[in-house]
Structure 1
C-alpha cells in the first residue's frame, strides 16, 4: 500500500519548510536588479513565523530551507563562471554549484537550530531578539570563514530604503540586523495581541523614521575642488580576453575609447584591462599613454597583471600613470578564480578548473591606498569591495574610492547588478564617492550617498563621465568597523537568553 501522504501531521510538518524556502526565495527580490526593499522585510517576517515554535531539529531544517531558497535563487550564476568560462563540463559545474549552495545554506540552518535551541522565554524573544542577533552573527561568520563569501547580506536590500541612513553608523551588517528586526516586528504587528501590536508598530516606526532622520547627517565633508572622472567599459568577451591574438585589438579598443576623454581629470579602465604583464606593456602602451596624459593633465588608472620576475609570482594589479605612477596589488583573492585553495585536500578536483590566470599571489600592502596625481584613492579590485572592513582600511586618508572589476565571469545574470549594489553600500559606509570601471558592466560613478551619477549599461561598449567631489573625515563605521553591529547582535542574543532564564513575560 502507498503511504498516506495527505495525513494532517505530515502536511503540517512540511508547511513551515515550504514557507521558509519561499521566504528565502522571495528575499532575492529585495536585492538588485529588482531592489524591492520592503520584500526583504516581508521575507524576514515569514522566516520569523517558521521559527515561532518547534524543536531545535525543526529549526535547523527550516533555517536550512531558507538558506537554500535565498542562495539557490540568488547565486545560481556560479554555474556560469564554472561552465562557460572555467571550461568545466555542464554536469560538473551544476554539481559544484549545488554543492556550494548546500554548504552555504548550513549557516542559515545553524541560525534556525540555535534560535529554537536557545529559546526559553516568551514567544516575542524569537523574532525580536534571538533571530535578528543570530542571523547577523552567522552572516558575519560567512563573510570571513574559509576566505569568506559575503554575498547576499540582507542589509544590501535596504540601500534605497529608509534604513540606509544607518549604514555610515553600523555598516551593512547593522542594516542586516535592522532588516531582520523589522521583519520580526512586522510579524508581531500581524500576530500578537493589541498591546503587543502597538509596541511592535511603535518600534517599527521608530526604526524607519530614525533611519530617515540620520540620513540628514553629513558624516564627512567636501575637501578640495571636484574633478571630472570617466570610466571606460570596453565590453571585451571573456572568451577571447586572454587569447594572444586578441591582445593588440583589446589595447587599441581601450585607447580609442580613452582619447576623446583626455579632457577628464581621471580616466579609469577595468580590472586586467590589458591582458599583458606590466613590464611587457610599458614600451608599446603605458609609457606613450602616460606621456600623452601628462600633456593634457589627465590621470589614468588601469588594471593589469604584474609579474615579479625575481620571486616568480604574479599579481592582480592596479597602476596609476600620469603625473605620478603608483601601483596597488590585490590583497584578497577570489578562491578558484584567482587562486586554488585547499589544493592538498581537493586533489584531482583541481584538474576540472581551466581558468586563465588562476594562480595569482596576494598583495602585501598594509592598506589599500593608491596615489592618483594629487589625490589619494582607496583601491579595491573586483571581489575586494564586498568586504566592508577591508575597504574602510583606506579611510580616512582616501578622498574617494576606486573599484575595478571584470564581472564578465558572471554572464548575463543577477550578479553584476548585485555587485554594483555592494559597491554603492561601500560609499555609504565610508562617506566617499566611488569611480567604478568593469569590463562588461555595470561601470558607474557613485556619489558619497550611494547614488549612481552616471553609468554604462551591462554589455555595452562605452564610457560614462561625472563630477566627483573628494571628501574628508570619518564616519562612525570607519572609526569602529563592524564592532557596533556585532556587539548589538550579541546584546540581542544575550537579552533573549537572560529573559528566558528569568521567565520574564
Structure 2
C-alpha cells in the first residue's frame, strides 16, 4: 500500500529530514483550527505523530526518550508557529517600541510551548506498545501535556488539540460532557487511528482502529444532533441588548489627548438607528461597550460620566470596559490600576465593577521573576499603564439591573475551561468584553471567539461578547451564534439575551470525566490490541 511506504519513510527518517517532517506535520494542524476549521485534516498531524514516535529508536530507554522528545518538539514548534503567527501583529502596533522584539512572540513563544508536546511524545515512548495500543498511549500523554500547558505558570490553553473538533458545532457538544481536554483526548485518538493502515501486519489490525474511530466520530455527531434543540433558544423577557463595536485602531490615536473625541464617537455610534423600529437607544435596555474602552480612568473623569448620563435614556444601563483605580496603600507611589468592567446607570453613576483576575503575561503585567531582566533590555508591558495592571482578587459575579447575574470575563479569561464561572449561585450568562484590536485582520480573533463559544457549550450558558474590532456577537447556551458583527467593521448589534440552558455534566464535575477517560485510555494502551 502507498500509505505503507509513507509510514516507512517517516519512521526511518533521520536528522534534518525527520525534523522537517515533524515541523510541517505539526504546522498542518493549524488548518483544522479557526478560521479555516478544516477539522478532518487533524488526521495528518496525529497520524504522522504516531510514526514519528515509532521512529524514535535507540539502544536504551534514555535514547528513545530523547529521540521522541526531539521529534515532539519539532512537531509542536510547527503547530504553534502556524497557529500563533498572528501574535506578531501586536508588536507592530507601537512598532518604534516593540518591532525589534517580534521574534520573541512569533518564534520564542512557540519554541517554549513546543516543550509540552515534546514531553507528551517522550512519555508515550516510555510505554509505547505495538499495534493499536500506541494510539491510546499517544492520546493519553498528549492530553496530559495539554492539561499541564493549560495550568502551569498561570496556564496558556490556547489552541489545545480539542479545538480541532470544536469548530464543528455537533462535535463540539461533547464539551458539555468532558470539556476541552476530553475533546483533546478524542481528537488525538481519532486523528491518529489511520496510522495503523501503514504499519499493521494483519487485516484486523489495519482496519479495526480506523473503523472504530469513524464509529466514535459518528457517535459524537449523533450526540450533537440529539443535544442541539430545534429552533432558536428562548430568550430573557424584557431585555434588549445593544453591542457597540467601534473598530478603533489600537495605535497612537488611542491616547488621553483624544479621549473626548473617542467618547463622542462611542456615544454617536451607540445611538445610531438600525431600523425604522429601532431608533437608537430608545428601544434598548442595556448598552455594552468593549474592553479598554477609554484612554482615561472613567471613575475619575466626571465629565465623561456626565456625557454618558446625558446620552442614556431613562432606565438604560451602560456596561463598559474601563481601567479602574483602586485605593492607594501606604508607602506606594500610585494606586493599583485594574482592567475592569464597570456598570453605569442612567444618572452617570458607576454602580458595579469587576476586576480582571487572569491577566495576560507580558501584555498586561511582567512576571515578577522576569521583571527586572525584561526591563533592562528595553521591554515593557504592551498596555500603556506604568507598572502594568494589578490582578483582581477573585472571580465574582456581576449584578446588573434588569439582567440575570452575569459571569464576567475580560479578554482571554474566556479561554480557561473550568475557570470561567464564579462561585455561588449559577450565573445566567457569560459577559465577555475584549479588545482584539492588537491582532488586526488575522486568525487570532477567530480563535479567541471559538474558545469563548466552547465555554458556553461546556457550562450551558449563553455568551454576550463585545470586541473593539470584532468579532462581537451573542451565542446561545449550545454554542450557536445568534447574531454577530464581522471582524474589522464599525457598527452596533441589537439582540435579545438567550436563556441559560440546563446545567451540564462538565459544569457539575469539571475535568472528572476527562480524568476517567484518561484512565480508560491508559488501560487500553497496556492491553493486547491488534
Tell me the alpha carbon deviations over residues 325-370 of structure 1, each in whole angstroms, 9 at most, x when there is no partner: 3211100001111111124563544632263126111111343444
Partner of 1:195: 204
What is the Cα deviation at residue 300 of structure 1?
Answer: 1.9
What is the Cα deviation at residue 95 of structure 1?
Answer: 4.2
Tell me the alpha carbon deviations over residues 168-227 of structure 1, each in whole angstroms, 9 at most, x when there is no partner: 1111111111110101223235653321344324422331222123222369x9574273
Q: When the two structures are aligned, how many residues end up with a matched partner?
A: 489
One of 177, 183, 195 as aligned partner of 1:175:
183
One of 228, 232, 247 as aligned partner of 2:244:
232
- For residues 61-210 of structure 1, the aligned pairs below 5 Å read 61-85=70-94, 87-95=96-104, 97-119=106-128, 121-127=129-135, 129-161=136-168, 162-189=170-197, 191-192=199-200, 193-210=202-219
- For residues 326-405 of structure 1, the aligned pairs below 5 Å read 326-341=352-367, 342-343=369-370, 346-349=373-376, 351-353=378-380, 355=382, 356-357=384-385, 359-393=388-422, 397-405=426-434
Q: What is the rounded CA distance, in whole Å, between the counterparts of 1:348 and 1:325 in structure 2?
A: 37
Distance change >3 Å, CA 378–CA 41, structure 1 → 2? farther
Q: What is the rounded CA distance, in whole Å, between the counterparts of 1:317 and 1:239 in structure 2?
A: 21
Distance change >3 Å, CA 194–CA 290, structure 1 → 2? farther
Q: What is the rounded CA distance, in whole Å, between the counterparts of 2:322 and 2:312 in structure 1?
A: 18
Partner of 1:302: 320
Structure 1 segments of 4 or more deviating over 6 A? 8-11
Q: What is the rounded CA distance, in whole Å, between the counterparts of 1:396 and 1:223 in structure 2?
A: 20
* More displaced 10-residue stretch of structure 1: 191-200 or 284-293: 284-293
One of 440, 444, 451 as aligned partner of 2:480:
451
Q: What is the rounded CA distance, in whole Å, between the counterparts of 2:425 and 2:196 in structure 1?
A: 41
Partner of 1:250: 262
* More displaced 10-residue stretch of structure 1: 411-420 or 77-86: 77-86
SS in 1 for 2:240: strand
Partner of 1:4: none
Tell me the alpha carbon deviations over residues 96-149 of structure 1, each in whole angstroms, 9 at most, x when there is no partner: 532222111111111111111222x3232221x111111111111111211211
What is the Cα deviation at residue 292 of structure 1?
Answer: 5.2
Distance change >3 Å, CA 102–CA 160, structure 1 → 2? closer
Q: What is the rounded CA distance, in whole Å, between the counterparts of 2:10 and 2:158 in structure 1?
A: 36
Q: What is the rounded CA distance, in whole Å, between the counterparts of 1:56 and 1:487 in structure 2?
A: 26
Q: What is the rounded CA distance, in whole Å, between the counterparts of 2:460 and 2:290 in structure 1?
A: 23
Tell me the alpha carbon deviations over residues 362-404 of structure 1, each in whole angstroms, 9 at most, x when there is no partner: 1113434443534211110001001121213468621111101
Partner of 2:337: 314
1:12 aligns with 2:13: yes
Distance change >3 Å, CA 10–CA 477, structure 1 → 2? closer
Aligned 8 A contact 2:34 2:167 in 1: no
| C-alpha RMSD of the superposition | 2.7
1:264 aligns with 2:313: no
TM-score, normalised to structure 2, is 0.85
1:212 aligns with 2:217: no
SS in 1 for 2:108: helix
Partner of 1:3: none
Aligned 8 A contact 1:229 1:435 in 2: no
Partner of 1:274: 294
Tell me the alpha carbon deviations over residues 47-94 of structure 1, each in whole angstroms, 9 at most, x when there is no partner: 222223422222111111111111111112222223433754534322
Structure of higher RCO (CA pairs closer than 8 Å, 6+ residues apart) = 1
What is the Cα deviation at residue 241 of structure 1?
Answer: 5.1
Q: What is the rounded CA distance, in whole Å, between the counterparts of 1:10 and 1:491 in structure 2?
A: 28
Partner of 1:48: 50
1:29 aligns with 2:49: no
Distance change >3 Å, CA 250–CA 111, structure 1 → 2? same
Distance change >3 Å, CA 313–CA 218, structure 1 → 2? same
Tell me the alpha carbon deviations over residues 246-290 of structure 1, each in whole angstroms, 9 at most, x when there is no partner: 111110111111123421232210001122213223x32335535
One of 39, 58, 63 as aligned partner of 2:67:
58
Aligned 8 A contact 1:406 1:440 in 2: yes
Distance change >3 Å, CA 431–CA 350, structure 1 → 2? farther
* More displaced 10-residue stretch of structure 1: 230-239 or 459-468: 459-468
Aligned 8 A contact 1:168 1:429 in 2: yes
Distance change >3 Å, CA 172–CA 337, structure 1 → 2? same
What is the Cα deviation at residue 231 of structure 1?
Answer: 1.4
Distance change >3 Å, CA 13–CA 226, structure 1 → 2? farther
Aligned 8 A contact 2:476 2:499 in 1: no
